[in-house]
Amino acid sequence: MGASFVWLGDEDPAQQVITHHGLRFVKGEPTKVDDEKIIGKLSNNAMFSKSKEDVVESKEPPEVDPEEGTEREAVKKQLDLNGIEYDGRSSLANLRALLAKHKA
């Protein structure tokens, strides 16, 4: 017989598709489910509905305040304060590693 379920999602705009019980769900779109065991599980899962009306609306994260800067800039500032030379094009991970190596 089967049933259709809608994955309700959350506020994260980057998360629009999931795989659950081997099925691909696109946020807000009905997905046909034929397996009775999966139908039972999804019926008891608050993240799924048979209606599109309950879909959680995505919210964009707030803009970064240029006055506060970014984590990358904060790590670069710590490197500068400690007199550590670095390539300004380095990734955040590389900058963190350089700072951690200095502090060790």
The pLDDT tens digits for 47-90 are: 999 988 888 888 877 776 666 668 888 889 899 999 999 998 88
Domain boundaries, the chain: 3-50, 71-103
The pLDDT of residue 65 is: 65
pTM given for the model: 0.56
Is 80 exceeded by the pLDDT of residue 1? no
* 2 φ, ψ (degrees, to nearest 5): 85, 170
For residue range 5-42, what is the model confidence (pLDDT) as tens digits?
999 998 888 889 999 999 999 999 999 999 999 999 99
The pLDDT of residue 48 is: 94
